[in-house]
Amino acid sequence: MNKLFAICRETAWCPGCGNFGILNALSQALDGLGLEPKDVLFVSGIGQAGKTPHYIKGNVLNTLHGRTLPTATGAKIANSGLTVIAIGGDGDGYAEGGNHFIHALRRNIDITYLVHNNQVFGLTKGQASPSSDPGMMTGTTPWGVYNEPFNPLAAAISMNGSFVARSFAGDQEHLAKTIQAAVKHPGFALVDILQPCVTFNKINTYQWYRARVYDLNQDPDYDFTNRRQAWEKSWEWGERIPIGIFYRSERPTLCDQLPALKNGPLVRQPIPCPNIDQVLAQFR
C-alpha cells in the first residue's frame, strides 16, 4: 500500500501522547480508502489536537479556537467535491465550539469530525475541560471538578446525528476502521476519540482505558439504528466503556438540499457576470 498520507514532519507533542496513535490511524484509514492528499481538506482549530493537520499530507486550514466546524462547513459548501475532515479537541469542540457542534449535527453537513478527547485542555497546561470526570483535580479545579461532564455522544444522538461513534487512540486498528466508516458516511460523522494525555491527565491512562473499553458492535443484539438503545448505551461509563458505532441514521445532507449545488461544486460552476446597472437599480 502506498503511504500517501504518511507523517511528513517532526511533531511538537509529548512522548507517549495519544495524538500519535490518532495520527497513525488517520493516515492508515485514508490510505485504505484510496484517497489522494489533493482531494482531502483538514480543518482544525487551536490546541494540541489542532496541530494534527500539520503532520499529515493534504490541504490544511487552521482556524480560530472553537471555530473548526463553521469553517469546515463553508469549505464543504464551496467545494463539495472535497473530503473534509474537521479535527479538534474536547476543549476546542465541546467548550468554545459547543454551539457550532450542535448546529453541525442539525444541518448534517457531509464532513467527518474527529475529536481528540483527553478530558483536559492540553495546550494550556491541563485545565479541566467539559468532559472531565467529577472530582478530577486540575490547575483550575484544585478541589475537584464539580460540574456534570458534557456527554457528546448523548447530545449527538439526541440531535439525530447521522453517524455517532467513539474509538480509542490505543487501538489503532479499531480507530482506523471507525474513521473509514465515518468518511464513507454521507452526512455529519462524529468520532469521539478517547485519548490519554500523559502529561496532565494521570487518571485516564492507556492502562485505565484498556481495562475498560470494549467494542459494542461485537454484540449481535446491539442495533445502531435503534436511537433509544444508542442513547442509553452512550451513558455507560466507568468500569466498562463502549467504543464503536453507537448510532446511524439516514438523513439528507446540507449540500443535497442547497439549490446552488445542483449543478455541482461551486468552484466548478461558471461565475455569473450580472449587469451592474440592473443590480444597482434594485437599491434605488
φ, ψ of residue 241 in degrees (nearest 5): -130, 115
In a domain, 278, yes or no: no
In a domain, 71, yes or no: yes
- Predicted local confidence at residue 68, as pLDDT: 94
203 Cβ neighbours under 8 A, 6+ residues apart: 133, 136
Q: Identify the CATH number of the domain in which residue 116 sits.
A: 3.40.50.970
Contact 91, 47 (CB under 8 A): yes
Q: What percent of the chain has pLDDT over 90?
A: 60
In a domain, 281, yes or no: no
Q: Domain of residue 103: give its range.
A: 18-254
In a domain, 127, yes or no: yes
In a domain, 43, yes or no: yes
Q: Which of 28-37, 234-243, 267-276 has the lowest average pLDDT?
A: 267-276
In a domain, 148, yes or no: yes
Residue with cell 442495533: 223
Output the 3-class SS for the chain: CCCCCCECCCCCCCCCCHHHHHHHHHHHHHHHCCCCHHHEEEEECCCCHHHHHHHECCEEEECCCCCHHHHHHHHHHHCCCCEEEEEEEHHHHHHHCHHHHHHHHHHCCCCEEEEEECCEECCCCCEECCCCCCCCCCCCCCCCCCCCCCCHHHHHHHCCCCEEEEEECCCHHHHHHHHHHHHHCCCCEEEEEECCCCCCCCCCCHHHHHCCEEEHHHCCCCCCCCHHHHHHHCCCCCCCEEEEEEEECCCCCHHHHCHHHCCCCHHHCCCCCCCHHHHHHCCC
φ, ψ of residue 218 in degrees (nearest 5): -80, -10
Q: What pTM was estimated for this model as a whole?
A: 0.91
- Predicted local confidence at residue 203, as pLDDT: 85
When pLDDT is averaged across residues 269-284 and rounded to a whole number, the result is 79
**Per residue in 224-256, pLDDT tens?**
999 999 999 999 999 999 999 999 999 999 999
In a domain, 143, yes or no: yes
When pLDDT is averaged across residues 183-206 and rounded to a whole number, the result is 93
- The more confidently predicted of residues 284 and 164 is 164
pLDDT band for position 1 (50/70/90)?
very low
- Predicted local confidence at residue 2, as pLDDT: 55
Buried-exposed string 164-201: b where 16+ CB fall within 10 A, e elsewhere: bbbbbbbbbebbbbbbbbbbebebbbbbbbbbbbbbbb
Number of other CB atoms surrounding residue 240 within 10 Å:
11
**Per residue in 72-120, pLDDT tens?**
999 999 998 899 999 999 888 898 888 899 999 999 999 999 999 988 8
For the chain, report the end-to-end CA distance as a whole number of angstroms: 62
| Angle between the N-to-C axes of helices 98-107 and 68-78, in degrees from 0 to 180, rounded to the nearest 10 | 30
pLDDT tops 60 at residue 139? yes
CA distances in angstroms from 1 to 5, 23, 30, 32, 34, listed in the order given: 11, 17, 11, 8, 9
CA dihedral 163, 47, 128, 93 (to 10 degrees): -30
Q: Is residue 49 left, alpha or beta, with left meaning phi > 0 and alpha meaning psi from -120 to 50?
A: alpha
| Rounded CA separation 176/178 (Å) | 5
In a domain, 10, yes or no: no
When pLDDT is averaged across residues 22-42 and rounded to a whole number, the result is 93
When pLDDT is averaged across residues 7-17 and rounded to a whole number, the result is 83
Q: Looking at the 3D structure of the chain, how many domains does it have?
A: 1
